[in-house]
Amino acid sequence: MQIIPKIDRKIVKLIEPDFENGPWICGGACIQWFQGKEVSKYSDIDIYFKNDAQRTEFVSNLTKKSLEDNAKFKFEHVVDTANAHTFNIKIDSNTWKLQAIKLYSGDTIQDVLDQFDINACKISTDGHQFVFGSDNTVQDILYQKINIPVIKKNSISRVIKYMGKGYDLTEDAFDLLFNSNADLITDFNYDPNTEYNNE
C-alpha cells in the first residue's frame, strides 16, 4: 500500500527509513502524508537517528551520492546548528529540505517519539505504514488539538507555530503552559533557523 504521495516517494526512498534500525522520519512531514498531502515547500523533513555516528554516516552518504550522480541528484548544505544539520536535496526537478536532527536520538523509534512535546507530532513512517507515539496522536491530528504531556524549552515557539496552522490548545495544555517554569517564558526567543521540528 502506498501511503506517500507520488511526488514525495523519491525522497522517502532516498532516506530509507527503517522502524527497526533507523533512521526515522518523524513529525510534520509525516502529519502531512497522513493527511494525504505532499510535503509543502515551506516544510522540511525531520530525520532522527540512533546516535551521532548513524547521523554522520547518513549525511556523508548523501554527499557521496551527490558527487556520483549530480545530473539527477544535488545535495546543498544550508546550515549546521546545535540542533540539526539542514540541507536541500534536489532529485530531478523536485527539492526537499531535510534536517538531520542532532538534539534527539534513541535506541528505538518509541524512544525518539517519547521525547517530543506535542502529541500530534509523535508520528513516524517508513513509507509503508505509520507508527504513532501516543494513544492520542491520531485524534490530535484529525481534530487539530495541541496536547503537551511534557514542557520543553522550545515548546512555546512550537505551540505558537501550530496555533498558526489552525491547531487549538487543549485546556490541559493551556494550564500546563500557564503554570510552567517562568524560565520557559523569559528565555523564549523564537528563531526559525534553529527550529528542529518544523511541522
Looking at residues 15-43, what average pLDDT do you find? Answer: 95
- The DSSP annotation for 124-187 comes to EE-SS-EEESSTTHHHHHHTTEE--SS--TTHHHHHHHHHHTT-EE-HHHHHHHHTS-HHHHHT
Where along the chain do its domains lie? 6-133, 144-189
Cβ-count burial of 29 within 10 angstroms (0-12 exposed, 13-18 middle, 19+ buried)? Answer: buried
Measured CA to CA, the distance from residue 120 to residue 17 in angstroms comes to: 20
Supply the pLDDT for residue 176: 83
Supply the pLDDT for residue 196: 47
Residue 47 β-bridge partners:
25, 100
Looking at residues 57-79, what average pLDDT do you find? Answer: 77
C-alpha cell at 147: 496536547
Q: Are 104 and 118 in contact (CB under 8 A)?
A: no
pTM higher than 0.75 for the full model? yes
Measured CA to CA, the distance from residue 169 to residue 68 in angstroms comes to: 47
In tens, the pLDDT along 156-179 reads: 888 888 999 999 999 988 888 877
| Widest pairwise Cα distance in the chain | 54
Measured CA to CA, the distance from residue 107 to residue 150 in angstroms comes to: 20
Higher local confidence (pLDDT), 183 or 21: 21
Q: Are 85 and 96 in contact (CB under 8 A)?
A: no
- Residue 91: pLDDT band (50, 70, 90) is confident
Q: Domain 6-133 is of which CATH architecture?
A: 2-Layer Sandwich (3.30)
Q: Are 196 and 101 in contact (CB under 8 A)?
A: yes
